Amino acid sequence: MIWLAISFVLFSSLMNFSNGDQPDGLSPRYPRYSFHSGLSKILWSGSTAAHVQNSLFINTTTAVAEEFANIKQQWRKQNFDDDNDCLKDVFSIIESFFHDPKMYNYKWIDASGRPMPGIAGGALHWPGNYYLCTGNFPEFNPNNTIPISDLTVNVTRGSYCDLVIDLDTSSTLPSLPTFGLSIGLCIPVTCNYTEAIILLDLIFSSFSLKIDKSASYCHTSPDNLPKDSWFWIAIALITVIVLLLSCGTAVDFAILFDYKMKKLKNAEKNKNPAENGSLSEEAEHMTASVSNLVVNYEEQEFSVESFLLQRSKYLQGKPLILQWLSTFAAPTNMMKLIYAPRKRVKNEDGKSTDHPLNVLDGIRVITMAWIVYGHSVVFPLTAANNPLLYVQTHVKRWTFEVIINGTLSVDTFFLMSGILAAYFGVPQVTRIKSFVRWIHFWCVYLVHRFIRLTPAYLAVIILYTGFFLHAWEGPLYPQRAEMTDIQFCRSNWWTTYLNNFIHSSQMCIPWSWYLANEFQFSVVLAPIFLSLVKWHSAAGLVFAVALILSCSFTTFGLSYKNHFKPGLLSIDSFDVTYIKPYTRWGSYAVGLVLGWMLHCNRLRLSQKVTVMKSVLITTAGLLFASICCLSVIYGLHGLISGEQPEMTNTVSAFYNAVHRTVFVIGIATVIYLCANGYAAPVRAILGWSGFIPLSRLTYGTYLLHPIIILFISLGSQSPLMLDDLSIITIFVTALCFSYLGSLLLSVSVESPILWIEKLIQNH
């Protein structure tokens, strides 16, 4: 309690925020641990309200002593209930601290939060020692006397409470997320949350600070947290998945056992008994041939291809329920994922060659790593104690532009989605002749797209909403849904593919906005484009160009109207331009055009050229792509670092309107060169076979990685101090565990559902 009083006095004297009313039109308050909260820390770094004058540190000690003396006098004037165990224990702690300052008395104070160094750098988390507080403490005598000997005292436990103080922020902030000073307070277990708040209100009567009662709470063991319906739904989901995986794996072992028994029987039949005497030369030759055949076949039985082929033959004609259970076979699903063969096609000469789109595997994996790296900075800012210092120092580095412009990574996924939709869709629609078949094709396409995305999506929502609050405990780890976007998952989970329009400011897992856009593009834009291309290629191209231009004009108008800064993501621009389909479908349209060109060999570069021409084409193409991509990523460094004056509103709006299209054109150029056989070094790197299994796990990795980053950031016993090493540690850890979680998600949910879909189509 003493350190708590010191904290209040120190902070009230240091954080000299303006006391004016908040401006109208601010964004709604967001959960403390959310993407929006982390983004606001970046925006806060540029606000003058965040700076603290160092001169205010002078004479703080004297002020603390005077204020604490006044608080003690106020406590003594209150008419407390003599039978209140909470107040008696609190007074016992205070009196013991003054009259008998032994080590066990200091533990109560030591376990509570206190001012952290670096307040000017954003140190707003003042946690105590969680496990020291919740451990064993001497129980004080009821008469507020000194505790008896350490050998005979009874033992009680402390209760760790997280106290959040509302901070009056400056009107210069562009938006207002949940913003406060978090202080850890260790109180006796005899005090409940209500009594603690009443007691702390006495302290705050001397300070111009206000408790955020909606954000403050007392921690409890995860086992004692209330279990809502989402928790039990998650338990049921895990139980069903485990049972299905067990049954499917049992089917796999039964097939493997049957497979081996047949091989043994075949080997016995082909054996030539030695007791038949000497063999003729012809018989010996036949025996050798059979033996070689048996040996070779037995060597092949352990190969993945051989087992999967035998497995497919075994399941043919078996009951449908057995075939459905077999889709949940974990070994088979994992083998098909890990040992995925490289895609190959026949060229004009009839020879087998690598598929022209194999480079997408490498681009997909690298882009996914870029997304994880960007989120490894944004999400930890919610629990960091140096967000201002980190951003203000790193924003001056040109390397930090990769983080600031990390939003471009999503445009690469939109580009690849458009390429695949057109490349594989054009040959299918050209074979359709009747209107009935046309309707049937698109119905199957839409259902397949829904089945491809939804099961894993819903599984992550259920597991995250049901288990995240119960997964860990610590001074920073949330135990209330209101502290995270879990509160939005409980109410708005059903929005899924419409969350960029419906409840967009209260989105369940905010990074799922991409899935909404991608699904909308797949079910609306792709069918229109392919239908127009089937009718006349020029009509499809006009439609794609119209999409690109409309996207740019819309982005320009919205950016100009709202005075959005060039290339920077803010709370307001996130909802107005970043997540809306009409400001993002330009990248998808570029992909549609490129996919159509690659399939129809339009503007195809000749592969029968001299080495010199090949080098020139490769160099020119890669140079053009580098200019497009690097100019967008690093072009605003001088502006963002403050070395150059700000752009006018018109120039800023124009940049926001075209920079994403310019970037994806650069990526599309690289893909076009590689697909036509040029840029051999780049094609070899991006087409590396090791990227194949990782590329198949990018969807699950995208869904899981922010949850893992939050878990790492909030599970610590002390606030993060961000630097290059800590960011790299978080990034590597999150990337590895995200891919591991994606592997489990693919084996247990994604792959079985797709197999079941194929079985239904076949029957």
C-beta separation of 706 from 374 below 8 A = no
C-beta separation of 412 from 584 below 8 A = no
H or E element in which residue 242 lies: helix 229-270
C-beta separation of 205 from 251 below 8 A = no
- Using only C-alpha atoms, the chain has a radius of gyration, in whole angstroms, of 32
Compute how many other C-beta atoms are within 10 angstroms of the C-beta atom of residue 761: 10
Distance CA 620, CA 611 (A): 14
Q: Where are the beta strands (DSSP E) in 189-249?
A: 210-211, 217-218
Six-digit token string for 519: 């699904």
Query: CA torsion 367→373→377→382, rounded to 10°?
Result: 80
Q: How far, in whole angstroms, is CA 345 from its chain's centroid?
A: 35
Distance CA 385, CA 713 (A): 12
Name the amino acid, one letter, at 443: C
- Helix, strand, coil % in the chain, rounded to nearest 5: 65, 5, 30
Q: Which of 72, 134, 141 is nearest to 107 (CA)?
A: 134
Residues 6 or more apart from 4 whose CB is under 8 A from it? 112, 113, 163, 183, 185, 200, 203
Segments in the chain below pLDDT 70: 1-30, 32, 35-36, 38-84, 95-105, 136-156, 168-179, 204-208, 259, 263, 266-303, 346-350, 602-608
Give the three-class secondary structure for 690: coil
With helix as H, strand as E and coil as C, how does 140-208 read? CCCCCCCCCCCCCCCEEEEEEEEEEEECCCCCCCCCCCCCEEEEEEEEECCCCHHHHHHHHHHHHCCCC
Q: Which residues share a beta bridge with 211?
A: 165
Q: Which of 631, 621, 620, 624 is nearest to 675 (CA)?
A: 621
Distance CA 368, CA 163 (A): 37
Name the amino acid, one letter, at 702: Y
Q: What is the DSSP letter of 343?
A: P
Between 103-110 and 85-99, two packed helices, what is the crossing angle to 10 degrees? 120
Q: Say what the pLDDT of residue 40 is.
A: 66
Domain boundaries, the chain: 2-219, 230-338, 344-762
C-beta separation of 457 from 496 below 8 A = yes
* Residue 536: C-alpha distances to residues 430, 527, 531, 582, 594 (Å): 11, 14, 9, 25, 16
Q: Say what the pLDDT of residue 306 is.
A: 74
Measured in Å, how far apart are the chain's first and last C-alpha atoms?
71
Name the amino acid, one letter, at 190: T
Alpha helix positions (H), 648-750:
649-675, 680-686, 691-695, 698-714, 724-745
Q: What is the DSSP letter of 29?
A: P
Q: Which residues share a beta bridge with 354?
A: 344
* Residue 111: C-alpha distances to residues 132, 188, 304, 365, 572 (Å): 6, 12, 57, 44, 39
Q: Are strands 180-188 and 344-346 parallel, antiparallel or unpaired?
A: unpaired
* Residue 526: C-alpha distances to residues 43, 182, 357, 430, 754 (Å): 37, 49, 19, 14, 21
Q: pTM for this structure?
A: 0.84
Give the three-class secondary structure for 411: helix
Q: What b-and-e string marks burial along 397-432, b requiring 16 or more CB atoms within 10 Å of the CB?
A: eeebbbbbbbbbbbbbbbbbbbbbbbbebbeebeee
Give the three-class secondary structure for 349: coil
Q: Which of 741, 113, 707 is nearest to 385 (CA)?
A: 113
Q: Which tens digits make up the pLDDT trace of 263-277?
A: 677 666 666 554 444
Q: Say what the pLDDT of residue 747 is.
A: 95
Six-digit token string for 409: 């990574």
Residues 6 or more apart from 189 whose CB is under 8 A from it? 156, 157, 158, 159
Residues 6 or more apart from 542 whose CB is under 8 A from it? 532
Tracing tokens 């606030």 back to the chain, one arrives at: 719
H or E element in which residue 454 lies: helix 435-467
Q: Which tens digits make up the pLDDT trace of 127-180?
A: 988 988 887 665 544 444 444 344 333 446 788 988 888 776 554 444 444 567
Distance CA 100, CA 147 (A): 9
Name the amino acid, one letter, at 372: V
C-beta separation of 388 from 122 below 8 A = yes
